[in-house]
Structure 1
Amino acid sequence: MSHANAALTPRARLRLARLVVDHDWPLARAAERYDVSWRTAKKWAERYRHEGPAGMCDRSSAPRRQPNRTPAPVVRKIVHLRWKQRLGPVEIADRLSMPASTVHAVLVRCRINRLSHVDRATGEPIRRYEHEKPGDLLHVDVKKLGKVPDGGGWRYVGRQQGLKNRAATAARTGSRNKRYEPNIGTCYLHTVIDDHSRVAYIEARDDETKETATEVLKNAVAWFAERGVTVQRVISDNGSCYKSHLWRDTCTELGITAKKTRPYRPQTNGKIERFHRTLAEGWAFKKFYNSESARLAALPAWVHKYNHHRPHSAIGKAAPITRLNNLAGHHI
């Protein structure tokens, strides 16, 4: 339907055309029946006679011939400058001696008018993918966060007080680094994201060894299995825990195909990298925590909110859990 007040929808056009062509109604009577002119009734009847039901859809209003359209060689030059040098419309127009508005129109038509649509490293359009079913691919990674000292970290209490809190916490725990400086430790968040649904599974651990990584993988596979998801593949970066024989053997034992990202290309595992940013903004640094235990205590509630209630822009602003099988009690 071309607009809200259109007299004929594609379905109504088909009914009108069938009355004229299949049931031999006069054009005037069919036009009166659908409150349109006889010329309109004739147009849709002729289209139905030559094209069938497919002819009832709206056609593009663009002219068949556009003599003044930007020539293809010029379009290729514009696209090349955009991809390889990431130039804007004004700079491209200056180099090619043409109006900037024309360059912008070409960039819009080629869907590269925003630099966010172009890969910064290669200049090529960003290629996005999504597997068809939950469990087809899991993304795994480790997010490392400095632990919160007793009394709060420097982000909320300031540098001076933050250093005092850090020293007091290190004195209580007796933890020092190699240079004998106060050390409160690192929290290793082992994160797992389902490629199709974006459902997240997280475990906070004290290290990122191969034993811990494989244990988290087993727990994640079992967690997804409880929700009706069978894991087929898992993709990780080239961290030592993921290159180990134990990781390989564990994936084989679970019937999972292990895949690796391209070296120095975190974009290959972009879904989980973007999730880490959401995790940091929505939970880790969202508010003041007076200790590491307080921050970890808030993690399960945030993960539940992310999976069950937070709208995800990449899946039509729906909650990730809605893309899993709707088993009783799992979408609460």
Structure 2
Amino acid sequence: MDACVVDDNWPLRRAAERFQVSVSTAQRWADRYRLYGEAGMTNRSSRPHTSPRRTPTRTERRIIKVRVLRRWGPARIAHLLRLVPSTVHRVLTRYGLARLTHLDRATGLVIRRYERARPGELVHVDIKKPGNIPDGGGHKVLGRQKGRKTRAGAGYSYLHTAVDDHSRLAYSQIHTDEKKETATGFWARAHAYFTQAGITVERVLTGNGACYRSRDWRDLLAAAGITHKRTRPYRPQTNGKVERFNRTLLDEWAYARPYRSEQERRDAFPQWLHTYNHHRGHTALKGQPPTSRVPNLTGQYT
């Protein structure tokens, strides 16, 4: 465009229309071409030469110091230093400090994300205990006051879950306890499910609950040639794949709608689990469901 205006004497309006820019933009580029030639046509940074309103360096250092030492979010740091939260957030972003959700709160170190190379190389196992819904519904149906009265004595459900690290394929069942007999029976069925899907389980990672420290659990895995690993005490993020599944399970099934009974919620679980495995896109799998990484999974969850 610049050569058209300067060398070929095109009118600015005609050049602007031809290259679909404004007349003022065409004028600016033509002037730059006259001054600098082809070298002046390279892209230039839009960053200003000076930023008189930028947060002072001393303030930025104080923000970073508080974040590193106390591991606070922008709002708390802003309150302590008498700043605006948006200013603190911009400083943290500018220096690439990790989100608090990506940090280990005890050490401040970035939690290292990993993924096993093949299905079955590692399976995460855990138990989640959501409270049961009383008959007639809980506080989401009856309101907070009435819901509190019906809550007493409702008890808990024990969701035993196994999640494959590579594919995120999940096998989960609802039980009434977390005894060793229940845990071993669950794993026997989970192992059969993964085997049917063409997955050879090599290692299993669990927490440190009594059922996972029992001889029954140890002998069951040893008989199948499976290595058993346990997480470090007080470090649940080590078992992060199944912990993330549990959070999804609570958000999208357990508390997704106001169920009127525990049985109604349990009846909805198999279909939700099927949707999770076969249809729900997973961000870590580039929007694909877990079945996209499984070699031989049948079309229907049983």
TM-score, normalised on structure 1?
A: 0.63
Say whether residues 1:86 and 2:56 are aligned partners: no
Name the counterpart of 1:153.
138
2-structure distance, mates of 1:114, 1:146: 31
Where does the alignment leave 5 or more consecutive residues of structure 1 unmatched?
1-76, 96-100, 167-181
Write out aligned runs for 1:217-236 (5 A): 217-236=187-206
Contact 1:236–1:242 (CA under 8 A) maintained in structure 2: yes
Which of these residues, 263, 271, 276, is aligned with residue 233 of structure 2? 263
Task: Indicate yes or no: 2:289 matched with 1:304.
Answer: no
CA contact (8 A) 2:196 2:297 kept: no
Quote the Cα distance in structure 1 between the aligned partners of 2:206 and 2:264: 30
Cα 1:113–1:214 shift into 2, 3 Å: closer
Matched residue, 2:294 = 324
Quote the residue 1:124 is aligned against. 109
Contact kept, 8 Å, 1:238 with 1:263, in 2: the verdict is yes
Name the SS for the 1:191 alignment partner.
Answer: strand
Judge conservation of contact 1:83–1:124 (CA < 8 Å) in 2: no
Deviation at 1:185, TM superposition (A): 2.3
- Cα 1:87–1:216 change in 2 (3 A) is closer
Alignment of 1:173-192 (within 5 A): 182-192=152-162
Within 5 Å, give how 1:4-153 maps onto structure 2: 83-86=68-71, 111-153=96-138
Alpha-carbon contact 1:118-1:124 (below 8 Å) kept: yes
Residue 211 in 1 paired to residue 196 in 2? Answer: no
Once superposed, what is the RMSD of the aligned Cα atoms? 3.4
Identity percentage of aligned residues:
52
Residues 1:149 and 1:87: Cα distance change in structure 2 (over 3 Å): closer
TM-score by length of 2: 0.69
User: 262, 285, 290: which one pairs with 1:292?
Assistant: 262
For 1:125, the aligned partner's letter is V
Give the Å deviation of 1:296: 0.6
- In the alignment, is the contact (CA less than 8 A) between 2:197 and 2:297 conserved in 1? yes
SS in 2 for 1:241: helix
Distance 2:167 2:159 in 1: 20
Name the CA shift for 1:110/1:133 in 2 (closer, same or farther; >3 Å).
Answer: farther
- The CA distance in 2 between the partners of 1:275 and 1:329, in whole Å, is 21
Aligned length: 239
Contact 2:180 2:210 in 1 (8 A): yes
Any gaps of 5 or more consecutive residues in structure 2? 1-61, 82-86
How far off is 1:263 after superposition?
A: 0.2
1-side partners of 2:165 and 2:95: how far apart?
Answer: 27
Amino acid in the other structure paired with 2:176: D
CA deviation profile, 1:144-197 (whole Å, cap 9, x unmatched): 12211111112331133324545xxxxxxxxxxxxxxx5122211101111111
